Structures are given as C-alpha cells and as structure tokens.
Amino acid sequence: MKSLDSNKKKAGIIGSIVLPLALAQFICSFAGSSLNVAISNIANDLGTTVTGVQTAITFFTLTMAALMMIGSKLTDISGRKKIFRIGLIVYAIGAVIASLAPFLGILIVGYSFLQGLGTALLIPPVYILVTISYTGIARAKNFGIVSAAGGIGAALGPLIGGVITTGISWRVTFIFQALIVLAIVFLSARIVEPKMTGPKHHFDKSSAILSALGLLLIVVGLQTTSTYGWLTASKDVVINGTTLIPAGSISPFLIFLGTGFLLNVGFYYSLKHKERVGKEPLIQTRILHNRTSNLGLVTQNIQWLILSGTFFVISVFLQTVRGFSAIGTGLILTATTVGVMLTGGLAGRLAKRRSQRLNIRGGFVVTIIGLALLLALSSATSPILNFIPGLFLLGAGLGIMLTSSVTVVQSAFPDKDQGEISGLSRSISNLGSSLGVSIVGSILVSSARAYGLSILVTIAIAIIGMVAAILLPKESPQPVEK
C-alpha cells in the first residue's frame, strides 16, 4: 500500500509539471491566431489598415523566432523554471499593454514585442522540462501533449477570439491571455527541476545579434512586397522626402533579403569562430548538420507557415470581401479546429502503429487535398459551406503531423543537446508562422482578387514540405520505457 501511495504521489507531481507547460504552449499559440478574426475591428478602432494589423501579427511571431535561441541559452544559464516564470510575467505585462492600446504603435509594443519576448523566454524551458522530467515512451507521450496543446491553441484562437471580439471587444482577448498566464504562474510553483550541473554557461552576444537581425531583415523585406513588389520597385521608395529607390529599379525586398542572408552567413561563421577559439557559441554548429533534424525542421516550419498563412488569408477574405463578423469568421474556421483536435488526439495511437515520418507524409497529403478543395470550391460568391471540407481536411492533416515533426527533431539528439535543439526548433516553427502571414498575406492584401493565388502559393509550399518528409531517413527503434 505504501508503494502504491508513493506511485500515486509521484504521478501527481509529474502531472503537475505537464499541465502548466501545456497551458503555456496553448496560450502562446492562441495569441498567434486569435487576432486574425478581429482584423477589421482592430483596424477601425486604432485607425489603421489591414496591412498595419498584418504587421503586428507578423512581428509577434518574428520576435519569437528571432529571440527563441537566445531564450534557450538563457535557460541554460539561469535555470529553466526561473526563465519560464520570467517569460510568463513579461508576456502578461505585454498582454495588458496591448489591451489598452490607443493606436497601432502601442499594440505593437505590447503584443508584437513584449508578448513575443515573453514567449521566446518561456517556450524553450517548456520542452526542456519535459525532456528532463520524463524518459522513453512517457517523454514522447508528453511531448505529444504539449505539441498538441500548441496546435489546439492555434486552431481555437479564431473561434474564442471571434466570440470575445463580437460579444465584448477584441481588447478582452488580451485580458483573457493575461488571466490564463497568471494561472500558469500559480500552477508552475509546483514544478521541481533537477539541480543544474556541469560548467557554467556563457552568453554569445555577437552570434545572437547576427541571428536576430538576419531573421528580422528577411521578414521586413517580405512585408514590403505588398507595397513595392517582389523583384522591381513598383513605385518610388521615399523617406523624409528623399527617394532612396526609384520605381523600376531593384525592389526593397531583394535588398532586405540579401542583407538578411549575409547576416545569417555571418551568424554561422561566428558560431564556428567561437568553437575554434574554445568559447561557448549560442548553438553548437553540429546541431545544424544533422540531416534528420534539418528535414524535420523544414516540415515544422512549413506546417506552421500553412496554418498561420491560411488562417490569415481566410480571415481577411471573409471579413473584407464577404463581409463576415469576427464571430462568423471564427465559426467558419472552427472546421479547421475540429480537424486538428480529432487527428491530434489520435496522433499518439498513430505513432505506435506507423513511423513518425509516415505520419508526417500522410499529414501533408491530407493537408494538400484540403488546400486544393479550398482553391476549387471557395470564392467570393460561392456558398459559405464550400469552405468547410477544405478547412476540415487542412486541420486534420496538420493535426496528424504537428506532434510527429517535433518528436523527429527532438529525438535526433541526446539529452545534453535538448536545450539547444528546443530553442532552434521553436525558432523555426515561429519563423514559419511569421513567413506564413508575410508571404501569403502579402499576396492577398496586394489585391482583393488574389485569394486564389494565395491558396495556390500555399499548396506549392506544402508540396515542398511533402518532399522534405519523403527525404526523412528511417527512424531508429522507439525507446522502451524502463
């Protein structure tokens, strides 16, 4: 009996670890999708445009992507639980500021930067704490729970956000987030992490700056395409009365893209230099040379690109072209939510019957079919029910593979590397969300008739993800729980 009571007590402690971690992943993913259904309301209240709100959403996910590896390294330096709780507090402060925003600039400060920073701090410890708290099959199962919470949060964002926006105000969605985060702070008090051992870690400032600036410039460049075009400038680029780039010459996008690429090359060689002189880099370069992980990261990036990009495109299209309210838009997008939740709940069983790479391949097939149905059946004049089959299959496909991609990436490395790969993994996922809103969203807002082209581009990107999934090598046998 004493042994049984001890086991029950241990299970309760373990359960208390997973709940706040899963809730944290849920609310951060919720924040990335909940504003989509309130785009028109926010633009009207703050005196801005759809492009302005698109910028806020893009920079929220970009801040996460740019700072996620930095947050991961700080986790190694200062402790997982401590950084997790600091991130929660920063996130809550940002949510409160965003709820009070009188104009777009303050919304960007609270939502895009502070909530993005808070997320970059709190998410890496989530995956590291799961790694150090579990082994074998239990670890894979709880990775699945946390990853599924992220997918469900992103999928439920439009519905919950639509209900709150229509019933009360879009500002209350931020208050809702702050309250959930305060609950997580309370629940996280019971988290017990092992004492950190080994040599003291150091922060690689120069590599961190190069990485953040490189990602920032690429996404900023994408944001300019809706105004100035992709290859040549469609009009003069003028700042303070001075024409910097005349119409017809090279587009700002190519300049930003090239500069961002060079900074990322500099980031890589900065890491190599630190290793050569015996200093600790922001991330070990061998982490970047793992074929399985790299292909898994490509699938992760594209999954979140598809989810965020499609939600943004459908939300803007329904509100600006079809005239739907926030709650009406959220209800239509619920088809995707149902798809994610149904197949996400089955992901654990599927992983036992089939390999993770087969799940990822199958997920992309279903997702591509869903996007093709959206392209074929939905338009500015089609019955609204025509959106449902495509959106449902889109969610079902993503639900199948979201957890599998995370498992493939995390399982490619031993425990000692989990801090670094967790930060890189979350950074790549959030970069996908940022690219989704930037690339597909920019195509849409450039013309009200660009809806079909936006979906077509998303299908092309999904096919790239499918190719990456096909190239994934066979997995080693799953670990057996002791």
Predicted confidence (pLDDT) per residue in 422-452, tens digit: 778 888 888 888 888 888 877 776 555 688 8
Q: How far apart are CA 137 and CA 235, in angstroms?
A: 57
Backbone angles phi, psi at 302, to 5 degrees: -70, -35
From residue 172, alpha-carbon distances to 54, 113, 168, 175, 251 in Å are 19, 19, 7, 5, 39
* Stretch 416-422: mean pLDDT: 77
Residues 261 and 379 in one domain: no
Residues 338 and 406 in one domain: yes
Residue 479 has pLDDT above 70, yes or no: no
Domain assignment of residue 478, yes or no: no
Beta carbons within 10 angstroms of residue 258's beta carbon: 14
Domain boundary among 255, 281, 307: 281
Domain assignment of residue 3, yes or no: no
Q: How far apart are CA 343 and CA 400, in angstroms?
A: 5
Backbone angles phi, psi at 202, to 5 degrees: -125, 155
Q: How far apart are CA 176 and CA 179, in angstroms?
A: 5
Paired tokens of 371 = 């996007």
Residues 411 and 306 in one domain: yes
Residue 98 has pLDDT above 90, yes or no: yes
Q: How far apart are CA 360 and CA 356, in angstroms?
A: 6
Residue 2 has pLDDT above 50, yes or no: no
Number of domains present in the structure of the chain: 2
> Percent of the chain at pLDDT above 70?
90
* DSSP code at position 7: H
Which residue, chain included where needed, has tokens 């996280």?
188
Residues 413 and 457 in one domain: yes
Residues 322 and 463 in one domain: yes
Residues 332 and 317 in one domain: yes
pLDDT for position 14: 46
Beta carbons within 10 angstroms of residue 234's beta carbon: 15
Beta carbons within 10 angstroms of residue 257's beta carbon: 18
pLDDT for position 478: 42
Residues 320 and 181 in one domain: yes
Query: What's the predicted TM-score (pTM) here?
Result: 0.83
Range name among 155-169, 317-331, 340-354, 369-383 with the lowest pLDDT average: 340-354
Residue 137 has pLDDT above 90, yes or no: no
Q: Containing domain of residue 219, as a range?
A: 204-281
Residues 114 and 212 in one domain: no
Residues 373 and 267 in one domain: no
pLDDT band, residue 16 (cuts 50/70/90): low
Residues 166 and 251 in one domain: no
Domain boundary among 246, 262, 281: 281
> Percent of the chain at pLDDT above 90?
39
Residues 105 and 235 in one domain: no
Going by C-alpha positions, the residue among 347, 345, 458, 461 that lies closest to residue 408 is 347
Domain assignment of residue 4, yes or no: no
